[in-house]
Structure 1
């Protein structure tokens, strides 16, 4: 799939005492990007839970911090589906400056599809696979 981009702004609450984005917040930004990617292909997470009985949970994350973002910076979060398994998706993501395109943080996130009732791995619903595979 092609790259999906989601804009965001750094709020004061996203920063630490040094005025830069606190490292854990980059993971939140990536999460927001994946949520908006899913929404852009026609799916809401609460509807997948209710109608398909599945949830998506982070299984593995690898992140590299390259340059700090600061309060009020305009950023872009990229989301690109890299691979998929029967019950998992792997995304490559970047957080870039919206001004000059510099990569501030990048990573790979593996998401597991789990049954909403018991949190055990379950196949990704066909209705979602048909959209993201085409």
Structure 2
């Protein structure tokens, strides 16, 4: 079953460290994907699902595809906010919209569309998103219950 909808974004703060930047003090483009990954991990944790525990239970979320647009640079010591929004929920995958904004002026620096697949840890074969997780997402207003 497929659900499409607007959602309430989850936000995660992060700071740009020296290791995130290139020689010019600008965030290296691939590090935005790391910031987005951290926000997705914290989003799941906020819903009550630590990825380490999901792995013990034989479930992993793997990135299926990513599309990113880079709009303005983040620099060393910038405070950022990284958002996560469910845009589409399928039986075994989620399509997420993520934004990286600079705190203070709220400038949009990077945005991405990430599709994550729910897979079995032992075989990497697709599996349904567990009902408890679907309910937690629905309870947070991220997609309608029963979708």
1:130 positional shift: 1.2
Equivalenced residues, count: 133
Runs of 5+ unmatched residues, structure 2: 1-6, 140-147
Aligned to 2:45, the other structure's residue is in SS state helix
Cα RMSD after superposing both structures: 0.8
1:99 positional shift: 1.1
Q: Give TM-score, length-normalised by structure 2.
A: 0.88
Pair 1:98 & 2:103 matched: yes
Question: 1:109 and 1:57 mapped to 2: Cα distance?
Answer: 10
1:71 alignment counterpart: 76
Pair 1:115 & 2:120 matched: yes
Aligned to 1:2, the other structure's residue is in SS state coil
Structure 1's consecutive aligned runs of 4 or more residues displaced over 2 angstroms after TM superposition are none
Question: 1:130 and 1:50 mapped to 2: Cα distance?
Answer: 20
Q: Give TM-score, length-normalised by structure 1.
A: 0.96
Pair 1:84 & 2:89 matched: yes
What are the residue-to-residue correspondences of 1:1-134 with 2, within 5 Å?
A: 1-51=7-57, 53-134=58-139
2:143 alignment counterpart: none
CA distances 1:41-83 after superposition (whole Å, capped 9, x unpaired): 11100111213x1100000101000000000001000111111
